[in-house]
Structure 1
Amino acid sequence: MRLVHSSLHADVADQLRRRIFDGELAPGTFLDEVHLAQALGISRTPLREALKVLTAEGLVRHEPRRGCFVAEVTEQDLNEIFPVIALLEGRCAYEAALHATDADLQALEVLHTKLARHARSKRINEYYATNFAIHEAIIALAGNRWLAQVIGDLRKILKLARLQQLHAPGRLEQSLSEHLAVFAALKARDPEGAEAAMRTHLTRQRVALDDLARGTRPKVAS
């Protein structure tokens, strides 16, 4: 399908970003400029501009004389990013507990009902999409654009790996329990509790990825 919008390279970047997040372009995949340009019905100039955008976001890596490849998230990347994003999203949960209105909490209630339904049905893709929407809603409720900006940049990288952790045995149910703990603290207008619950949730995502890599069951708190 030929792209015709005025900001062509942004449209191309959006399309490639979606294909990366959907797993259609797997980590390590070589991005053949000739093939991609033909498939998108565009010249290589906007494609190259789009690849520069994705490289700046950390989703693509450029190797001199070789070209561009979909970025691979390393264990070191995960170890460095998760503690940071746990702190940042924990702070968002803290602020959200202070600012959330009754209407905001009702909207979150709807999302958590959907989340539980997807967990019971083992619909991982739908669960992840709702999970993502809940995190976005809490970040928005915090009302801190600087937090939102930094978290957004980090989440683009983690999105390459986060869906995997939901495939770990027992992780879907554990994730739901963690989300419900965050939501309970928000409803109680308990900022410290919401912050702690969100930090626990993000930390256990990293543990689940590690467990999945090792082939072990996720650790459940006593």
Structure 2
Amino acid sequence: MSVKGNSVYDFIIQQIKMGDIVPGQTLTERAIANEIGVSRTPIREAFKKLIEQGLMEYEPHKGVKVTLYSKEKIEDLYEIRELLEGLSVGRIAESHSAEDIKLLENYIELAEKEAEQGSLIRLSEINSEFHNTLARLSGNHYLLEIMSDLQMQISLLMSQSLSNKGRPYENIQEHRMIINAIKTGDKSLAEETAKFHVRKSRDNILLKIKGD
């Protein structure tokens, strides 16, 4: 297999999402270089980026380890996400356009199509795009920046959550509930609907890691 330098990061992310590289697994520059046919420099750069994003941890004299999320780490991450998602959706409920609603509803249509085809990786990507769009539509630059930093960790955890039986369709329905709450213009309702969705996502991830 040959992967261009700029794609090393994407290759590793894809392998994690597919389950070919698993949480807790140690990776070395040499092993990756042999597998994908690139020099160690782009691999080192990819590792650095993954560590900065919290997706990997440096192990002295060993290499890097894919972050293994404990119950406590997941709860901490989703506690922050719940607050941010509630803030985003509440702000959108107070001020949104017909175009904003149409954009969000388009993600529902895309997700339904991928769910029918059983494409969990693409479904996870659409999920991330939906939530990134919520952060952007909030109009708060700092909120968008913080959510962007967290989103990659969340998206990898979501890949696990969406593999639970029936969860893809539940997730889509919860997204639809968020959009409907936004349409009402009721800030409190929108905030609570978003927070409910985040708690459900958290519970499904915890269920998945418990089962594993």
* TM-score computed with the length of structure 1 as normaliser: 0.82
- Once the 2 structures are TM-superposed, how far is the Cα of residue 214 of structure 1 from its aligned partner? 4.8
> What is the rounded CA distance, in whole Å, between the counterparts of 1:55 and 1:11 in structure 2?
17
Is the radius of gyration larger for structure 1 or structure 2? Answer: 1
How many residue pairs get matched? 210
Unaligned stretches of 5+ residues in structure 1: 216-222
Residue identity opposite 1:110 in structure 2:
N
Whether the 8 Å contact between 2:26 and 2:62 is mirrored in structure 1 is: no
Equivalent residue number for residue 89 of structure 2: 93
Equivalent residue number for residue 180 of structure 1: 176
| 3-state DSSP of counterpart to 1:42 | coil
> What is the rounded CA distance, in whole Å, between the counterparts of 2:48 and 2:14 in structure 1?
16
Question: How many percent identity over aligned positions?
Answer: 27
Provide, for residues 51-103 of structure 1, a one-character-per-residue CA deviation record: whole Å limited to 9, x for no partner. 12211211111111121122111111111111110110111111222332111
Quick one: which of 181, 188, 195 aligns to 1:199? 195
> What is the rounded CA distance, in whole Å, between the counterparts of 1:167 and 1:2 in structure 2?
28
| Alpha carbons of structure 1 residues 71 and 114: separation in structure 2 relative to 1, 3 Å | same
Provide, for residues 33-61 of structure 1, a one-character-per-residue CA deviation record: whole Å limited to 9, x for no partner. 11322444433233223212211211111
Deviant stretches of 4+, over 6 Å: none
> What is the rounded CA distance, in whole Å, between the counterparts of 1:106 and 1:162 in structure 2?
24
RMSD: 2.4
Quick one: which of 137, 157, 162 aligns to 1:161? 157
Unaligned stretches of 5+ residues in structure 2: none
> What is the rounded CA distance, in whole Å, between the counterparts of 1:71 and 1:11 in structure 2?
21
> What is the rounded CA distance, in whole Å, between the counterparts of 2:111 and 2:13 in structure 1?
24
Equivalent residue number for residue 32 of structure 1: 28
Residue identity opposite 2:80 in structure 1:
V
